[in-house]
Structure formats: C-alpha cells, structure tokens
Structure 1
Amino acid sequence: MPDRELSTTGYLSLGLLAAHDWSAYQLAEQLGRGVAELWPSADRGRYAVLNRLAELQYVDTRQEHTGKRARTIYSITPAGREALAAWLTTPPRPPSVEFEGMVRVLLADQGSLDDLRMTLQRTRESALANREMFARYAAYISATGGTFPERRHLFALANTFMIGHYDHILAWTDWAEQQIAGWPDTVTPASANGEQVRDMLAPGRDVWEQGHPDGA
C-alpha cells in the first residue's frame, strides 16, 4: 500500500529519481521545467519532502564534492520504487484548478471595467507565454529525445494536454473580452443584459440537458 502520509510532491520526486540520481537543486530544476504549471505545489517544501523520503527509506543519500563544496545526491531505493508503483495503482485525485484570474473575474463587480479588462489581458499574456514554453518543450523533445528519452511518449501525452489547456484559456479570454465590450460597468449587466447572460450560459445548459434528457 502507498504511504498515506506522503504527498503527491513526494511521489513526483520519487518519479524523477526513478530515472536519474539528483541533488536537491537539480530536482528543483526538473520541477521547474513545466511541472510547476501542472502541479503548482511541487516547489513548496521540497526539502522537507526529501527528508521525509529519507525517513521512509525511499531514497538513499551520498555526498559528492566539487572542489571544497559538497552536495547531497539522492537516489531511489527498491522500497521507493515499490512505493511509487503502489501509488500508481490507486485512483488519482479529481482535477483541480488554481486560477487567481478567475477569482478576480468572480469578484469583478467590486472593481472597475478597466480592472476586469486588465485581468483578462494579463491572463491572456500568461497563457500565451506558457503555451510557447510547452511548444518549445515539444520541439526540444522531438529533436533530441529530451532529458528523459525513455519517457518521451508520456511527455507527449502531457504536453498535448497542456497546449490544449492554454489554447482553451486563450479562446476563453477572447470570448470574454467580446462579451464585456458593450458593458458600461461591472455591475449593471446582471439586470440590464439578461438576454446576453442567458446566451452566455447556453453551452452549460446544453450539456446539462444532454446528460439529463428526462429533466431530472
């Protein structure tokens, strides 16, 4: 059975170590290569996670020296591989979204229309940058095999999802900017633009009706 006290970040670290021995700094580098966009909490408390993995005897450590500087290198143990394999047999948690821009959209009636436009614009800029980053990864993996060539088929699955994720955000920001183009402010459309709001909600209603043909 997988260890209930070990976080997803812990298993992610084991997964990285399953392919290569790394120092804490090198692990952080790997987590920064697109992983943080998929699992934002991966970079938080990573040193504590490594300590936990050592306590559970899921990793071994050794010291390497470069001149007078020493660094700790972590390697996965057989017990660590067994724990990782056991975790992969369990159901994943449901997907979740950490999206501050959407929180700002929900609260936009407490600010100005310019504030809302700024939120949409910054969200678009961020999505463009992140989509470019994953496109760059795709080109790099395609050309070289990447850092983990034995996993490039799996990276291809994940990369395609992330590109599609940012495509969706870009399409949504374009749509949202069109919707608010004629609004006088962020408050009155709730009562003055009833038909528009109903049209905006139509896709959701259609999905509901398709899934509940009997109206239940």
Structure 2
Amino acid sequence: MPEREPSITGYLTLGLLAGRDWSAYQLAEQLGRGVSELWPSADRGRYAVLNRLHSAGFVETRQEHTGKRARTIYSITPEGREALAAWLRTPVRPPTVEFEGMVRVLLSDQGSLDDLRATLARTREQALANREMFARYAAFISETGGTFPERKHLFALANTFMIGHYEHVISWTEWAEQQIADWPDTVAPARTHGGQVHDMLAPGREALAGDQATDW
C-alpha cells in the first residue's frame, strides 16, 4: 500500500471535507460529534491527521480573516477525493469492539462482587446516555436535515445501528445483573453454578447450530 495512505481517521476527515471546507476546530468538533463512539481513535487524532493529509497532498489550506483574527481553512483536493473513492472500493475490515467494561467483566474474578455490580451499573448508565445522544441526533436530522442534509439517508442507517447497539448493551447489563444476583462472589460460580453457565451459553450453541444448518 502507498506510504501516504490515510488512516481511517484521515478518511473520515476527507469525507467531512468532501462536503464543505472547514477550519481545524470545526473538523475536530465534527469528529467528536458521535463519530468517536463509532471510531474511538478519531477522538485522539483530530488535529495531527490534518498535517499528514496536507503533506500527502490530499488537502490544501487557505487563510480567512475575521476582523484581526486569521484562521486556516482546509479543503479537499482532487487527489484527496480520488483517495477517498479508491478506499471505498476496497474490502471492508471486520468490525471490532473497544469495550473496557467487558474487559473488566472478564477479569472480575480478581475483584469483588460489588466491583462487578458497579461495572455493570456504570456500563448501563453510559449506554443510556449514549442512546439518548443518538436519539437527539435522530431528532435533529429529522427536523432540520442535519449538518449534512445531502447525507441524511446514510446518517439514518448509521443512527439506527447505534441506537440498536446501545439498546443491546442496556439489555445485556440488565440480564447480567439478574444472572449474578445469587452469586456469593466472583470466583465460586465456576464450580457451583454449572447449570446456569450452561444456560447462559445456550445462545452461542443455538447460533452455531443455525450456522451449520445453513451450510447444508
């Protein structure tokens, strides 16, 4: 692959600039508006990516003055548009999950039952807050067309996924809280709750059986 190929954050930035010109601050604001929940690293590389895109010739800059203050405005170049279009034709990588709460669940045998309960409760609170955020985005797009009215049909696809994702997290935390309700601690259930563990794994076994049936 070319050495100057953008990162996913770079492609996100090019996608924003494909619709209109932005300042660095405006781009950073847009990347943080729901995008960081979809692609967390976008939140960490908001500003540095612009320098790399500029060095690669994918964006160009100009100065705009408001009174005595000047700001740099970024525009996508024809090469930038070509790079973005070429990337959209490549095979997509499989989705991944960056989920600290789940990592803590996996390691909960090294902590207390109260720690596990707190992790589930906090995860649910976060999911509720994020679901509300995307619900507000949906209302904003429905009422105004959104910041990118020419892409509202695409934003609707993504918004529905994100709402469903957070609803799944909320449902899972509530289910998990019920599962651990009679656990004495976070260690013993591996020995004392074999039947419950078997039942919890039923969806996985059913999914495998369904996949195997489809293969036939």
Which bin holds the TM-score, normalised by the shorter protein?
over 0.9
**Separation in 2 of the partners of 1:13 and 1:23?**
11
Match of 2:202 in 1: 202
One-letter amino acid matched to 2:207: V
Return closer, same or farther for 1:135/1:3 CA change in 2, 3 Å cut-off. farther
Identity, in percent, stands at 79
Match of 1:92 in 2: 92
Match of 1:40 in 2: 40
**Separation in 2 of the partners of 1:3 and 1:143?**
43
Q: Equivalent residues in 2 for 1:26-105 (5 A)?
A: 26-105=26-105
Determine helix, strand or coil for the equivalent of 1:212: helix
CA RMSD, 1 decimal: 1.5
Query: Deviations for 1:63-97, whole angstroms, at most 9, x for unmatched residues?
Result: 11222222110001111111111110001111000
Q: CA deviation at 1:210?
A: 2.0
Return closer, same or farther for 1:2/1:169 CA change in 2, 3 Å cut-off. farther
TM-score w.r.t. length of structure 2: 0.95
Determine helix, strand or coil for the equivalent of 2:201: helix
**Separation in 1 of the partners of 2:150 and 2:213?**
46
Q: CA deviation at 1:36?
A: 0.7
Match of 1:136 in 2: 136
Query: Deviations for 1:127-177, whole angstroms, at most 9, x for unmatched residues?
Result: 000000000000010000001000000000000000000010011001000
Q: CA deviation at 1:47?
A: 2.2
**Separation in 2 of the partners of 1:41 and 1:102?**
19
Determine helix, strand or coil for the equivalent of 2:5: coil
Q: Which runs of 5+ in 2 are unaligned?
A: none
Q: Equivalent residues in 2 for 1:166-185 (5 A)?
A: 166-185=166-185
2:101 and 2:120 in contact (8 A); partners too: yes
**Separation in 2 of the partners of 1:158 and 1:211?**
26
Q: CA deviation at 1:49?
A: 1.1
Match of 1:156 in 2: 156
Query: Deviations for 1:15-71, whole angstroms, at most 9, x for unmatched residues?
Result: 000001001110011011111100000022222211111111111100112222221
Query: Deviations for 1:156-213, whole angstroms, at most 9, x for unmatched residues?
Result: 0000000000010011001000000010100000000000000000110111122235
Determine helix, strand or coil for the equivalent of 1:18: helix
Segments of 4+ moved more than 3 angstroms: 1-5
Match of 1:119 in 2: 119
